[in-house]
Amino acid sequence: MFTGLIETLGEVVSLEVKPTGARLRIASAVATEDAREGDSICVNGVCLTALDISGGSFAADLAPETLARTNLGELAAGMAVNLERSLLPTARLGGHILQGHVDGVGIVAELRELGEGNWWITVEVPEELERYLVLKGSIAIDGISLTVAAVEGRRVSVTLIPHTWKHTNLSRRREGDRVNLETDVIAKYVEKMLSRIVLPEKH
């Protein structure tokens, strides 16, 4: 489980594409300082299992499903990625509950500076995720917990404060870039439960 509060930026060391899946290696002194083999680390919003931890870097195997549903297959050496270690029971839940299970990939439609280091970002989401977008609700973009500022059809907009802009990889994004999206898990559970309710017939 994660909070969507990015701890640090990591740097992609390599992405080795294999006949089935791929192996990603990321350098980060912060993410590896207390990491153990098998720990979960969220990379651009994707929960990955840390392997071969050495020299301030860790590797992670990417399954075909991960490559198909996220933007991790587009990574290359030198690129920055958002990192968050899994939540400790004693930590404050400052963002919102994230599983690191990406629902789909969106397209950056607009990046606009608002002044004094604040930014407005609009993302076009896949059609199947539109129903989970709620004004003032939460959404994770590349693993960052953000509050929905506007919803217009399949376009969702959020504002970024200077800290978020400076300390995440969104400052490196450009219009047309693909970003990982995770919608609110509570909304998905509510939807499923409500779909099973049988209303009494009116007479």
Q: Is 2 a catalytic residue?
A: yes
The CA distance from 185 to 194, in Å, is 14
Q: How far is CA 10 from the centre of its chain?
A: 14
Which distant-in-sequence residues (6+ apart) come within 8 Å of 125 by Cβ? Answer: 104, 106, 133, 154, 155, 156, 181
Q: How far is CA 169 from the centre of its chain?
A: 11
Of 29, 77, 101, 163, the active-site residue reads 101
Does the pTM of the predicted model rise above 0.85? yes
Per-residue pLDDT reduced to its tens digit, 52-79: 999 999 999 999 999 999 999 999 999 9
Q: How far is CA 57 from the centre of its chain?
A: 20
Is the pLDDT assigned to residue 199 strictly greater than 70?
A: no
Of 47, 59, 60, 140, the active-site residue reads 47
Of 40, 86, 157, 159, the active-site residue reads 40
Q: Residue 64: beta bridge partners? A: none
Would you state the structure tokens that stand for residue 164, as one six-digit string? Answer: 């978020």
Per-residue pLDDT reduced to its tens digit, 147-196: 999 999 999 999 999 999 999 999 999 999 999 999 988 888 888 888 88
Contact 98, 183 (CB under 8 A): no
Q: Is 42 a catalytic residue?
A: no
Of 29, 91, 147, 150, the active-site residue reads 147
Q: Which amino acid is at 166?
A: K
pLDDT band at residue 110 using 50, 70 and 90 as cut-offs: very high
Written out in words, the top-level CATH class of the domain with range 104-191 is mainly beta
Give the per-residue pLDDT at 192: 83
* The domains spanning 8-85 and 104-191 adopt the same CATH topology: yes
Domain boundaries, the chain: 8-85, 104-191
Q: Is 101 a catalytic residue?
A: yes
What single string gives the DSSP state of each residue in 39-108? Answer: -EEEETTEEEE-EEEETTEEEEEE-HHHHHHSSGGG--TT-EEEEEEPPPTTS---S--B-S---EEEEE
Q: Is 47 a catalytic residue?
A: yes
DSSP element (H, E) containing 187: helix 185-195
The matching CATH number, chosen from 3.50.50.60, 3.30.450.20, 2.40.30.20, 3.10.450.50, for 8-85 is 2.40.30.20
Give the burial string for 1-37 (b: 16+ CB within 10 Å, else e): ebbbbbbebbebbebeeeeebbebbbebeebbeebee
Is the pLDDT assigned to residue 94 strictly greater than 80?
A: no
